[in-house]
């Protein structure tokens, strides 16, 4: 994923989608267990159409979908043989995971599974070594072995019954080391990538929400970043506080330019819909992403010291072209490079597809010992028109 990084859709969906509050409403709002788990008896997402989800992802240029098979509440979104607390025991009665897997296969969309290590429903889900245990059942005492056998059986189901998987996303490190879980997944799903939040180190790291790069321009380990279109919840939230398009495109540009894959999350509601306020943001971000013409994926770091003045960029190269990524925007209508390998054949602003003027110029603001210094001066950047999105400029030398 470092050099074959992809853009994907994260989908948080479960009983919590019917609350319109938050994916962890059971714990964070301290709902009574009877009230929250009772949602299973009325959950009936009759508007669920997984093809719409897949086609929305494809429209946005996304190459894979990661779906929450079981979140912290323990509710299973597939027809598991190991729990009655599952989607096929709701009024809806259908295996929504199988329907999604079929839709992904039909439209050549890669599929990944999320699985929560904490479980607030299982009688032995309590893990004193881990976090997110607020609503875990404790009246039965601690029996980690019994719960791990449950997890093993469920993960075996997921990796056996739903076709080929791209990645497996454990969530919330259990602080229990048992390499046999990942070994089983790899045996059942050869070639799969596994993250670092499970029972072993895994293949890739998972920075979440607002990652601070510590002034590093390239990840040294396989990485998959994730964020949601909403600030308050990963699941559906009525009247969500949505991130700005600029904030999200900047995050995507920064992380993918550093070599990361990126999962952008939406939360379908209790009827099974990705509502238009969520979908419209996916489309807008997808429009920006596709205008990047593949510059955000499968690239390498460009190690040339360009010494860019006044702005900070992450510089990548791909197919003989150099891409300057400006996730934090550009200060003025130009950029200036003190060091450069030559006069470029062409400079393009990927946001618009338009060529930009570029010439070696003496700029009075930059001087030494009373002499103006020569810079490669790229001008005519419509910064005000692009205030709502990250900017990427392509150089062909």
Q: Please count the CA atoms within 13 angstroms of the CA of 213 that sit on its side-chain side.
A: 19
With tokens 């979140």, the residue in question is 71
Residue 1 has pLDDT above 70, yes or no: no
pLDDT of 343 > 80? The answer is yes
- Which pLDDT score, from 0 to 100, does residue 369 have? 75
Give how far Cα 225 sits from Cα of 130, 200, 255, 365, Å: 22, 19, 7, 38
Average pLDDT, the chain: 96
Q: How confident is the model at residue 2 (pLDDT cuts 50, 70, 90)?
A: very low
Quote the pLDDT of residue 169: 98
- Fold match between 7-291 and 300-396? no
Give the number of other CB atoms < 10 A from CB of residue 48.
Answer: 18
Q: Is CATH 3.20.20.80 correct for 7-291?
A: yes
Mean of the pLDDT values across residues 47-64? 98
pLDDT at residue 215 greater than cutoff 70? no
Contacts of 87-90 with CB under 8 Å at 24 or more apart are 87/43, 89/40, 90/40, 90/41, 90/42, 90/43, 90/44
Confidence of residue 182 (pLDDT cuts 50, 70, 90): very high
- 305-340: pLDDT as tens digits: 999 988 999 999 999 999 999 999 999 999 999 999
Domain ranges of the chain: 7-291, 300-396
User: What's the pLDDT at 363?
Assistant: 83
Class of domain 300-396: mainly beta
Band of residue 31 on the pLDDT scale cut at 50, 70, 90: very high
- Whether 38 has a pLDDT exceeding 90, the answer reads yes
CA distance 69 to 97: 7
For residue range 90-127, what is the model confidence (pLDDT) as tens digits?
A: 999 999 999 999 999 999 999 999 999 999 999 999 99
Q: What is the pLDDT of residue 3?
A: 57
List Cα–Cα distances, 294 to 102, 256, 284, 317, 321, in angstroms. Answer: 27, 11, 17, 11, 12
So what's the pLDDT on residue 105? Answer: 98
Q: Is the pLDDT of residue 214 over 90?
A: no
- Tell me how long the chain is: 397
Give 375's pLDDT tier (boundaries 50, 70, 90).
Answer: very high
Asked if pLDDT for residue 176 goes beyond 50, the answer is: yes
| Mean pLDDT in residue range 227-250 | 98
């Amino acid at each position: 994923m470092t050099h074959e990084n992809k853009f994907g859709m994260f989908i948080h969906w479960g009983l919590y989608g019917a609350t319109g509050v938050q994916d962890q409403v059971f714990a964070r709002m301290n709902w009574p267990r009877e009230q929250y788990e009772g949602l299973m008896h009325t959950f009936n997402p009759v508007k669920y159409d997984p093809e719409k989800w897949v086609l929305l992802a494809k429209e946005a240029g996304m190459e894979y979908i990661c779906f929450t098979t079981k979140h912290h509440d323990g509710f299973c979104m597939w027809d598991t043989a190991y729990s009655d607390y599952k989607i096929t025991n709701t009024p809806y009665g259908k295996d929504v995971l199988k329907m999604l897997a079929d839709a992904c296969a039909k439209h050549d969309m890669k599929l990944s599974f999320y699985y929560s290590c904490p479980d607030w429903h299982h009688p032995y889900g309590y893990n004193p070594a881990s976090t997110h245990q607020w609503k875990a059942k404790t009246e039965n005492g601690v029996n980690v072995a019994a719960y791990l056998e449950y997890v093993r059986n469920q993960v075996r189901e997921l990796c056996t019954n739903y076709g080929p998987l791209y990645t497996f996303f454990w969530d919330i490190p259990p602080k229990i080391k048992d390499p046999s879980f990942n070994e089983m997944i790899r045996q059942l799903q050869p070639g799969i990538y596994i993250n670092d939040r499970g029972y072993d180190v895994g293949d890739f790291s998972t920075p979440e929400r607002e990652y601070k790069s510590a002034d590093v321009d390239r990840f040294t380990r396989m990485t998959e970043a994730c964020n949601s279109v909403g600030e308050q919840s990963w699941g559906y939230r009525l009247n969500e506080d949505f991130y700005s398009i600029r904030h999200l495109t900047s995050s995507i540009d920064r992380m993918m330019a550093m070599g990361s894959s990126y999962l952008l999350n939406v939360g379908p509601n209790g009827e099974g819909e990705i509502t238009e306020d969520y979908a419209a943001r996916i489309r807008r971000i997808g429009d920006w992403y596709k205008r990047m013409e593949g510059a955000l994926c499968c690239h390498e770091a460009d190690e040339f010291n360009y010494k860019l003045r006044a702005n900070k960029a992450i510089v990548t190269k791909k197919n003989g072209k150099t891409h300057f990524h400006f996730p934090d925007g550009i200060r003025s209508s130009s950029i200036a490079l003190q060091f450069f390998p030559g006069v470029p054949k062409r400079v393009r602003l990927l946001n618009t597809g338009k060529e930009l003027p570029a010439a070696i110029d003496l700029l009075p603001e930059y001087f030494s010992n009373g002499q103006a210094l020569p810079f490669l001066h790229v001008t005519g950047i419509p910064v005000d028109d692009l205030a709502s999105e990250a900017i990427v400029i392509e150089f062909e030398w």
